Each structure stands twice: as C-alpha cells, then as structure tokens.
C-alpha cells in the first residue's frame, strides 16, 4: 500500500540538523523488494474466485490487471523521479490539488485498503492452516482462527517490528518458491500428458452470451494481486540513484510478477477445472493435490501461510503508522498519535486498526469481498494519482526525471475509474464496506475539525521537496 502522510520533509536538506536516510539499495535489492511486495495474498487466495468469474481463461483477468497497473506505474515513476525525496499518494494529491480534505480522504482510503488487505490475508491464513493440517475448520472456525491470527499480528505490531531489506529478500524467496512449485507441477503434468491445457482457452459467458463482462468482473478481483508496486516509492530516499534505477527496475518487477501470475494461472486451470478451483479459499492447495499427490500438502500450506502472514503484518504496520501520521498533522484526533512509553509504538492507532480488522473478519468474512474492497479502494486512489501527475506537469523541477507519455495517465485514470464502477459486476457489498470505512473516516475528520477550532490548531502542511538524486 502507498506510504504514510507526513508533515515534514524526510531529507536533511529540507530539515536541517536531521540525518538523511542511507542510500543502500541498488537495482538488485530494489527489484527483489518490488517483486516481493507484489507477490502474496492475491494470487494465493483469489485465483479460484477469478476462475469462478471467467472460467478457464483465468489468466486473462490477471493480464488485464497487469496492463492497468502498468499504466499507473508509469505515473508513479514520473512522480518518484520528479520528487525522489518524498513519496505517497496522499502527498502527491496534496501537491497537485492543495485541498486538505481530499488529501485526507486519499490517505484514509489507503489506510483502509491496508486493513481490508490484512483481513483478506487473515482469512486465507486460517483456511490454508485448516486444509494443510486437516483441522476441518469451517464457517465460525475459520472466522475465529482469523481473529486469533489478527490478534497475534497486533501483538507483534505493538511490540515493534524492525524490517530490513535483507529480511525482505528472505520473505520474497519463500513467497516466490510457492508459486514456482505450482508452475513446475503444472509443467510436469503437461509433459506427462496429464491435465487439460485446452481449458485455459475456455470462457465462461455472461447471460447474454458475451465474454467481455465476465473478464471485467474477474479483473476487479485479479487487480488485488497486482497492487504493492506503489510501496516501492517509499524507498526512493534509500536508493542509490532513484532517477536512473526506478524506471527500469519497477517495470522489470511488474513484468516478472505478471509472467509468474499468468504461468501460475495456466498451471492451475490445467490441473483443476474452473468450477472446482472456485470452491473454498485454498485454490493453490487443490492444484498441488491434483498435480503432485505425493507432495506433502503441509509444506505448501506453510509456504502459503508464511506468504499471507507477511502481507498481513506489513499492511497492519503501514495502516497503524498512517493513522498515527494523520494524527500528527492534525487531520485526525490527537488520541491516535499516542505512543507507548516503553514499546515506543503507536498503541492507540494499533488498537483502532485492529478493531476495524476484527469487524471486517467477523461481519464481512469472505475473501472475495475483502480482497475486492481492497482493489476498489486502491483503484480510486490510483485514478486520483493518474490525474495528479498531469496536474503536476505545471510544477517544473530543475533536474531531469522520467516523463510518461500523456496518454498513459489519461488512459490509466479512465481504466481505474471504469474498474471501480458498479457496471463491472462488482459485488455491492464491497461498496458498502468501503462506504462504512470512509464514513468512519469522515466522522473522525469532523471531530478533528471541531477539536482544532476549540484549540486553535490547524492541519500541518504536507511538504514535498524536489531534489536531485545524490
């Protein structure tokens, strides 16, 4: 998910007396970071649900989602190379439009997308644990297991987690290994004449016989698997040469993950029919069981659990820190800015985001609804970012930077807005969930406005400092 809203510059040049972040990431580490950030819950949990929408061409929605993500990535590339010392959709929005409420809504939507994403991961974690270890959890059992998992994530979040690039490399390798196992199993089955490759070309038709709308409906879910690339803009100040490295590396990372997703989808549908693949919440475990019955399912289950657990922890860390950051710039009540004296973590923000996750896991529950809501929120955010990059063309900077062709942000904004619309066949519950979450945000915003008036406080101005790479 995109980065946190901040009120002060992040560089020593913009904030005298403060050290700048160390530029340690070269192209190789940056590529691993990007690939690792995109891989995760989406492909592990939603492949079956996409198949339920489109039938055998389950790979096609992932390909369409890749194309839409690629257009938005070009917009992020221009912004991150233009402003290499700052990052985040909310900051770019404020730079472009200068309206605090719009900035807040974008930031809060980003925070909510992190919570819905983590809730999706918690359901996927519980379902994979149940199937891998033959626990036979179902219904309320999956919900309770998901709640326990989320409580454990909150405990780790409260204790404090120090992330490092090297640790991210390990996580990336584990997540990637699970997907490569699927691809290898698929290739072995095809070479042995098993499975049915022809299924990969079978469309599920709509009631009117058309194929377009089922693919679009599948894309609204598949897009959840492509988000994550925007997190890399938060690493701009820690890259050795962001202006030169970011464009090639980000595009390479997207292409690599896109190819992996298509390969996994083809392997999955070759071994498991679409209707069966869409059953339950553990589609890739079904693929392993069908293509390699002697392969220990508990091993793949642990890999999947590890992948989605990492996604949940990262998203809840980001969500709580973003809530804390919004409190610090006086767009949310100061209560959320409280830091635990011993642990030095934003414990009220952690508690609030965890309670929201509990509510989502308990009352929304299903993976498609939670994952779809994440995609819905981020599609809206990406539409705004695509517009912002065009508005910020009026803000020239002294150094050379990547410049995307004008038609890409325009097309990206239209595609994101289109995929967020109700005409796509998107489940209406996703709009209700997103509306409730954003409604909570607006209510907190109004409370903060009253508090600010009573205390004479004003929202701090987010600052973006354009600076050439060192």
Q: Which residue has the higher pLDDT, 181 or 8?
A: 181
Nearest to 113, CA basis, from 323, 255, 409: 323
Write down the residue that tokens 């309670």 correspond to.
Answer: 355
Contacts for 110 with CB less than 8 Å, ≥ 6 apart: 1, 2, 88, 89, 90, 322, 377, 378, 381
Q: Is the dihedral of CA 323, 328, 332, 334 positive or negative?
A: positive
Residues 354-381, mean pLDDT to the nearest whole number: 91
Residue 19 confidence (pLDDT): 46
3-state secondary structure of 344: coil
Q: Summarize pLDDT for 428-456 with one digit per residue, the tens.
A: 999 999 999 999 999 999 999 999 999 88
Q: Summarize pLDDT for 295-351 with one digit per residue, the tens.
A: 888 899 888 888 888 788 878 888 888 888 888 888 889 899 888 888 788 899 999
Residues 348-362, mean pLDDT to the nearest whole number: 95
The encoded tokens of residue 83 equal 């402003």
Domain ranges across the chain = 31-455
Residues above pLDDT 70, as percent of the chain:
86
3-state helix vs strand vs coil in the chain, percent to 5: 70, 0, 25
- Distance CA(265)–CA(353), nearest Å, equals 33
Residue 408 has pLDDT above 90, yes or no: yes
Residue 5 confidence (pLDDT): 47
Q: Summarize pLDDT for 70-100 with one digit per residue, the tens.
A: 999 999 989 888 887 655 788 889 889 988 8
Residues 6-19, mean pLDDT to the nearest whole number: 40
Residues 31-37, mean pLDDT to the nearest whole number: 76
Confidence category of residue 463, pLDDT binned at 50, 70, 90: low
Residue 468 confidence (pLDDT): 47
Topology (CATH level 3) of domain 31-455: Amino acid/polyamine transporter I (1.20.1740)
Backbone torsion region of residue 466, taken as left when φ is above 0, otherwise alpha when ψ lies between -120 and 50, otherwise beta: beta
Confidence category of residue 3, pLDDT binned at 50, 70, 90: very low
Residues 151-167, mean pLDDT to the nearest whole number: 71
Q: Is the dihedral of CA 52, 53, 57, 58 positive or negative?
A: negative
């Amino acid at each position: 998910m995109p980065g946190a809203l901040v009120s002060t510059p992040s560089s020593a040049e913009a904030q005298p007396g403060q050290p700048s972040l160390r530029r340690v990431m070269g192209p190789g580490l940056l590529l691993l970071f990007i690939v690792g950030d995109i891989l995760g819950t989406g492909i592990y949990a939603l492949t079956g649900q996409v198949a339920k929408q489109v039938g055998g061409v389950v790979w096609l929605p992932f390909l369409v989602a890749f194309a839409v993500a690629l257009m938005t990535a070009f917009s992020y590339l221009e912004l991150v190379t233009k402003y290499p010392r700052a990052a985040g959709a909310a900051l770019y929005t404020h730079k472009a439009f200068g309206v605090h409420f719009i900035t807040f809504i974008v930031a809060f939507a980003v925070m909510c997308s992190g919570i819905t994403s983590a809730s999706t991961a918690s359901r996927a974690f519980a379902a994979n644990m149940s199937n891998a270890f033959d626990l036979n959890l179902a219904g309320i059992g999956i919900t309770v297991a998901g709640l326990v998992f989320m409580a454990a994530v909150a405990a780790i979040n409260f204790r404090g987690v120090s992330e490092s690039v090297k640790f991210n490399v390990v996580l990336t390798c584990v997540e990637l290994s699970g997907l490569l196992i699927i691809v290898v199993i698929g290739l072995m089955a095809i070479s042995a004449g098993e499975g049915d490759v022809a299924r990969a070309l079978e469309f599920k038709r709509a009631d009117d016989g058309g194929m377009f709308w089922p693919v679009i409906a599948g894309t609204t879910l598949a897009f959840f698997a492509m988000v994550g690339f925007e997190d890399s803009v938060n690493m701009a100040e820690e890259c050795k040469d962001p202006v030169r490295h970011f464009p090639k590396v980000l595009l390479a990372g997207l292409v690599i993950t896109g190819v992996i997703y298509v390969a996994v989808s083809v392997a999955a549908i070759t071994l498991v029919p679409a209707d069966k693949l869409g059953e339950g919440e553990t589609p890739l475990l079904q693929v392993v069981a069908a293509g390699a019955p002697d392969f220990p399912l508990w091993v793949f289950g642990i890999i999947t659990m590890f992948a989605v657990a990492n996604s949940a922890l990262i998203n809840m860390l980001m969500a709580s820190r973003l809530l804390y950051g919004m409190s610090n710039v006086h767009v949310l009540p100061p209560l959320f800015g409280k830091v635990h004296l011993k642990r030095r973590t934003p414990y009220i923000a952690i508690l609030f985001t965890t309670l929201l996750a509990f509510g989502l896991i308990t009352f929304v529950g299903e993976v498609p609804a939670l994952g779809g809501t994440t995609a819905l929120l981020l599609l809206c955010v990406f539409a705004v970012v695509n517009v912002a990059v065009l508005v910020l063309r009026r803000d020239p900077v002294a150094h050379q930077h990547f410049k995307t062709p004008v038609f890409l942000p325009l097309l990206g904004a239209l595609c994101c807005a289109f995929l967020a619309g109700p005409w796509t066949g998107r489940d209406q519950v996703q709009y209700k969930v997103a509306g409730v979450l954003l409604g909570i945000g607006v209510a907190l915003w109004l409370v903060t406005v009253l508090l600010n008036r009573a205390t004479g406080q004003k929202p701090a101005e987010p600052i973006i400092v354009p600076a050439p790479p060192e």
